[in-house]
Amino acid sequence: MALAVEEQSLAIRAMAAADEISQRRLDRIASHLRATSLMKDEQLAAEVCAAAAKVSKRPVSVSVLTHLMAGGYPEDRQKVLDFFLKRPDLETPVEITKEQHRELAYKQLLAIVREAGVNPMKYLMEDPGQYFALLEAVGYIDMSLAIKLGVQFSLWGGSVVNLGTQKHRDKYLEGISTLRYPGCFAMTELHHGSNVQGIQTTATFDCMSDEFIINTPNEGATKWWIGNAAVHGKFATVFAQLCLPSPDSHLDTNMGVHAFIVPIRSLEDHAVLPGIEIRDCGYKVGLNGVDNGALRFHDVRIPRDNLLNRFGDVSRDGKYTSILPTINKRFAATLGELVGGRVGLAYGSVGVLKAAATIAIRYSLIRQQFGPPNQPEISILDYQSQQQKLMPLLSCAYAFHFATEYLVEKYGEMKKTHDDEVIADVHALSAGLKAYITSYTARALNTCRESCGGHGYAAVNRFGGLRNDHDIFQTFEGDNTVLLQQVAADLLKQYKAKFEGGALSVTWDYLRNSMGTYLSQTNPVVTHRDGHAHLRDPHFQLDAFQYRTARLLHTAALRLRKHSKRLGSFGAWNRCLNHLLTLAESHIESVILAKFIDAVDGCEDKDTKKVLNLVRDLYALDRIWKDIGTYRNQDYVAPNKAKAIHRLVEWLSFEVRGVAGSLVDGFAIPDSLLRAPIGLQSGQYSEYSHYVGFD
């Protein structure tokens, strides 16, 4: 026994000695890499300084970029843009009252449907990608128009199509498509927004009359912020608690939240119908072309057939039936069918980011300030500080474009196949991309405004209007903080499934490998590698993003388990909330980068592909640098590597500056629709002077 113990002790000491020798070798290698890194950093610094006097110009075809960024529906997009180019009477002026703006937005919507021959409802039902391409195009015309179109077709029309059955489509679809039945989507209440299950409006079934009675039981149940309600709407999809009389009690039985079609104005004279109160929510920070209103219902009777009954129905004798067994499952199915709104907001937010980036970059290219002694002034985009503000932002516009194209593609697949895995994937992906992209765009709009100095403050140059109109994107169709929590919850569910041997959804599949990577020690050699070839390798970039997500996920699960014992599940979640939000954002960034890599790999034009590689590298490395503390804390990136990443981000920003004009031209936003004098392709100062009255 003693001999065995001694042999074991000798073996342990031998292993320790071997480990010490290996570690010394690794330290020598790392030391060599650090020395090499210092030389490379000095060389890179010299290159950047030398290049500052001469902007790098890379060959790139704007027409190839335009085709790439137009997606699969360039003709449909161009049809709408061309229509408005020929209709200056439909252009939204800079100075306009709330009332004028509302009427103009409705006139624009009618023109799209009845004059341009566009059928948004048909697009939405048959090819969602075509619908979202239309939505982006009209967003360039007026964001109030885009939201009004979305309320009419995606929300009001979508609720009838997705929550109703064939009888509802037969009765309402044609009128919705032609705008004969303008409608609303009445979900939000004064006291309840994100917590839809807590809404208080009631729909009580009356067996005697075969009707539902819609009521607003208290002030908090007032429907609030309802688009199209204040002026134009004639119908509303009203979400309410479905209550059935109980034969054994004087109390009604609550079957949960359901949707009902409620007429609110007369089809003949547009008068508000009996029992309905409508108030105007008034002037808003932005989107004042959308007539948001507040609704109250006082014993408003509607036929039983007005229940949108795809997931739950009531018979003539008051019996409730459903294909789903519980209130929670019915509620999840109901909200799940409305995910298209989030897809549209993510897609539309990218359009806003493209417009803002175009204005800011074009202005920065022609604006000249200061310069070397006794030499001409230089463009403000030649300054490193301006490049660092705008070039990563431009890279994000491209990254987000490819990510939302993928989201639209998956949404279309979901609508066609109804596959459970795809449905789950789209729900979480749409929540995450909508939250992440709209939050980023909101910050970017301020950056663009500031980058244009005093001229960026002029209303005619659009930043104020874009910022104010877009700001609410962070709130409606789901508050961004709430949506990110949904993503985190789904990641934790996938994490649990991984260790129980379950299948992972498509978007989360990388966790299968990343968790193994995380659970092993980081390689000291790799953590010190700082050569350009390594840092610009998309495999390194994506591995870094996914490593961070896997580590955040693992530590979040451990923290939740620890705190649940003392605080309970709700308290533990709240205690770890900031950690969970960071986890969700990290995952979404991984998805965005993966789709960017796929898009670059799929580009067939050699010169364009080189430029897109630059843009992708800038996106990835700038994101890593922005969170370098996390990578350093976990020893994933050594100090020399962090420094190399920072220098490379500066160099890439300089390189992308050389093609920035072509990259924004690739968005193909017509000057007449961009409508910002400082953002025009040419003649910016002349147009700006003409606007204020000079000849």
What is the spatial distance between Cα 322 and Cα 312, in angstroms, rounded to a whole number?
A: 4
18 class by beta-carbon count within 10 Å (0-12 exposed, 13-18 middle, 19+ buried) = exposed
Question: Phi and psi dihedrals of 269, rounded to 5?
Answer: -120, 5
CB atoms within 10 A of CB 11: 10
Contacts of 23 (CB under 8 A, 6+ apart): none
**How far from 324 is each of 123, 310, 321, 328, CA to CA, in Å?**
29, 10, 9, 9
523-to-215, 527, 641 alpha-carbon distances in Å: 65, 6, 13
DSSP 8-state symbol, 31: H
| Structure tokens given for 368 | 């000249």
Q: How far apart are CA 151 and CA 143, in angstroms?
A: 12
Cβ-contact 102, 280 below 8 angstroms = no
Structure-token match 């533990």, residue found: 572
| Contact indicator for 621, 648 with CB cutoff of 8 Å | yes
What DSSP assignment string belongs to 627-655? THHHHHHTTSS-HHHHHHHHHHHHHHHHH
CB of 556 within 8 A of CB of 639? no
Number of H helices, E strands in the chain: 26, 11
State residue 565 phi and psi, 5-degree precision.
Answer: -65, -35
* Chain CA centroid to CA 566, Å: 36
Q: At 490, which amino acid appears?
A: D
**How many residues appear in the chain?**
695
Residue 695 and residue 211: Cα distance in Å, rounded? 67
Between vectors from CA 137 to CA 684 and to CA 363, what angle results, nearest 5°?
20
How many Å apart are CA 379 and CA 659, to the nearest integer?
14
Question: How far apart, in whole angstroms, are the C-alpha atoms of residue 519 and residue 502?
Answer: 19
Coil/strand/helix, residue 517? helix
DSSP E strands, 370-526: none
What is the bridge-based pairing of β-strands 320-321 and 293-297? unpaired
Measured CA to CA, the distance from residue 433 to residue 400 in angstroms comes to: 9
- CA–CA distances in Å: residue 527 to residues 33, 586, 639, 644: 10, 20, 9, 12
- Rg (C-alpha) for the chain, rounded Å, is 29
Distance CA 93, CA 101 (A): 9
Rounded distance, CA 161 to CA 80, Å? 25
Q: Which two tokens stand for residue 225?
A: 């912020």
- Report the alpha-carbon distance of residue 567 to residue 640 in Å, rounded: 42
Q: What φ, ψ does residue 314 adopt, rounded to 5°? A: -125, 130
Neighbouring C-beta atoms of residue 407, cutoff 10 Å: 25
Sheet holding 293-297, edge to edge: 223-226, 293-297, 276-280
Whose CA is closest to 289, among 179, 153, 143? 143
Q: Based on the residue annotation, tell me whether 405 is a catalytic residue of this protein.
A: no
Q: Which of 405, 477, 589, 650 is catalytic?
A: 477
- Which residues does the annotation mark as catalytic? 477
